[in-house]
C-alpha cells in the first residue's frame, strides 16, 4: 500500500499556492519527506510570478507536533554531538533543512500565510515565525516543548520569537515552558487574527484572497522595508521609507492607481 504524500500542494483560485501538512495520524510531525516537499513548494512559489500568496495549513487534531524525532533514530541509539561547535553547525545548517527553508521564506518578496486550526508546537511554530501572517482558530494553542529536554528552540525559536513578541512573552513560553492559547497569542502579537473555529477555513481563504489582490510590487517592497525598519533607528528607518518609495512612485502602476482613486473619490466612493 502506497503511503500518502506527507504534504499536499495545490494552486487554488489561480494565484494562491496552498501547502497542507498531511500526516494527521502522526500529529503532522515534520518528516524529511514533508520538508522536501515544502522546500520544493517554496521554490515553486518564489519562481512563479503568477502566484501571489502561499498558504500553509494542515488537518487533524494538531497543526503539527514539530520535527519528527523518530527519524533521528531511537533515543537510546542516537549519536549525540560531543562538541559545542558541532551543535552550532547543526543549528546553522538546520535539521531537516529547516533553517535554510525558514530563511528563504523570510527573504522571498512575497507573502507567506500560515493558518493554525489546532495546537502548533516546536519546529512548526518556528516555521510559523518565519511567515508574514499567522492566523489562528479560536481553539489553537502554541508551545515550545524543547525545554522538556533541557534545550532551547534554536531554529528561530528564540531569535524570531523575541523579535515578534518581546522578552516578556518569550520568557513565559521558553523559560517557564508554558503554552499559550489563541487569544493570548493575539495579545502577545504572535498571531494577527483569531477566527471562530466554525468559519476558520473560509475566513482564512478570505484573508488570502484580499492579500492576493494587493499590488505585488508594493507587497514585496514593504516586506523588505519593514524588516529593515525593525532593525534601524528612526532616522535610518525613515530613509528606508524614502528609498523604497523612490522606486514605487516611479512605477507606471502608481500614476494609474492614483488617477483611478481620485476618480472614485469624485464619484463619492471612499477608501
Question: What's the CA gap between 60 and 26, in Å, rounded?
Answer: 9
Determine whether 146 is an active site residue: yes
Question: What's the CA gap between 264 and 270, in Å, rounded?
Answer: 7
Considering the candidates 126, 184, 201, 217, report the single residue annotated as catalytic. 126
Question: What's the CA gap between 185 and 193, in Å, rounded?
Answer: 9
Residue with cell 489582490: 213
Considering the candidates 10, 146, 201, 227, report the single residue annotated as catalytic. 146
Question: What's the CA gap between 226 and 89, in Å, rounded?
Answer: 29
Determine whether 50 is an active site residue: no
Contacts of 162 (CB under 8 A, 6+ apart): 170
The 3-class SS string of the chain reads CCCCCCEEEEEECCCEEEEEECCHHHCCCECHHHHHHHHHHHHHHHHCCCCCEEEEEECCCEEECCECHHHHCCCCCCCCCCCHHHHHHHHHHCHHHHHHHHHHHHHCCCCEEEEECCEEEHHHHHHHHCCCEEEEECCCEEECHHHHHCCCCCCCCCHHHHHHHHHHHHHHHHHCCCCEEHHHHHHHCCCCEEECHHHHHHHHHHHHHHHHCCCHHHHHHHHHHHHHHHHCCHHHHHHHHHHHHHHHCCCHHHHHHHHHHHHHHHCCCCC
Give the residue numbers marked as catalytic.
126, 146
Amino acid at each position: 500500500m502506497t503511503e500518502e504524500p506527507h504534504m499536499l500542494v495545490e494552486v487554488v483560485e489561480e494565484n494562491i499556492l496552498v501547502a497542507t501538512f498531511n500526516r494527521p495520524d502522526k500529529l503532522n510531525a515534520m518528516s524529511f519527506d514533508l520538508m522536501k516537499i515544502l522546500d520544493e513548494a517554496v521554490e515553486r512559489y518564489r519562481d512563479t510570478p503568477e502566484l501571489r500568496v502561499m498558504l500553509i495549513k494542515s488537518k487533524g487534531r494538531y497543526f503539527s507536533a514539530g520535527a519528527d524525532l523518530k527519524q533521528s533514530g531511537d533515543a537510546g541509539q542516537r549519536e549525540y554531538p560531543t562538541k559545542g561547535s558541532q551543535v552550532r553547525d547543526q543549528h546553522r545548517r538546520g535539521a531537516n533543512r529547516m533553517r535554510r527553508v525558514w530563511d528563504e521564506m523570510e527573504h522571498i518578496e512575497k507573502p507567506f500565510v500560515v493558518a493554525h486550526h489546532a495546537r502548533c508546537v516546536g519546529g512548526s511554530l518556528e516555521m510559523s515565525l518565519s511567515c508574514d501572517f499567522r492566523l489562528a482558530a479560536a481553539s489553537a494553542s502554541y508551545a515550545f516543548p524543547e525545554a522538556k529536554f533541557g534545550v532551547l528552540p534554536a531554529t528561530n525559536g528564540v531569535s524570531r520569537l523575541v523579535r515578534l513578541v518581546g522578552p516578556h512573552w518569550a520568557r513565559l513560553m521558553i523559560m517557564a515552558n508554558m503554552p499559550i492559547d489563541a487569544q493570548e497569542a493575539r495579545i502577545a502579537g504572535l498571531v494577527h487574527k483569531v477566527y471562530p473555529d466554525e468559519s476558520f477555513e473560509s475566513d482564512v481563504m478570505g484573508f488570502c484572497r484580499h492579500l492576493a489582490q494587493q499590488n505585488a510590487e508594493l507587497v514585496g517592497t514593504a516586506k523588505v522595508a519593514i524588516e529593515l525598519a525593525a532593525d534601524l533607528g528612526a532616522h535610518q528607518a525613515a530613509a528606508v521609507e524614502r528609498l523604497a518609495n523612490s522606486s514605487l512612485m516611479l512605477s507606471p502602476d502608481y500614476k494609474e492607481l492614483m488617477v483611478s482613486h481620485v476618480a472614485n473619490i469624485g464619484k463619492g466612493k471612499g477608501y
